[in-house]
Amino acid sequence: MTTPADPIDPTAPAEFQSWELALAQGQLKPEQVATLQAMIDDGKVESLSEAASILDLEETIIHPPEHMWGS
């Protein structure tokens, strides 16, 4: 059994460090691009790069396990 890199966040490490960088380098999978496109379709953003930027920002501000438990 492998030990997670972050004991507070047991989820697997991300495939990339930045949505913006991965988008620019063409590293996103079709379902990941669909996530960005859904943000456009919902009227939250105007471009894929803007959606990627927002996701990067959210990941730096919200640490999912801490957010879930209110730590």
| Residue 17 within any structural domain of the chain | no
Into how many domains does the chain fold?
Answer: 1
Residue 53 included in any domain? yes
d(CA 14, CA 4): 12
pTM of the complete model = 0.67
* Domain range enclosing 36: 27-69
Question: What does the DSSP 8-state code read for residue 70?
Answer: T
Helices (H), the chain: 19-24, 30-41, 48-61, 64-69
Residue-wise pLDDT for 3-61, tens only, equals 445 555 444 446 788 999 999 999 999 999 999 999 999 999 999 999 999 999 888 77
Report if residue 15 sits inside a domain. Answer: no
CA dihedral 38, 44, 50, 56 (to 10 degrees): -80
The predicted pLDDT at position 63 comes to 60
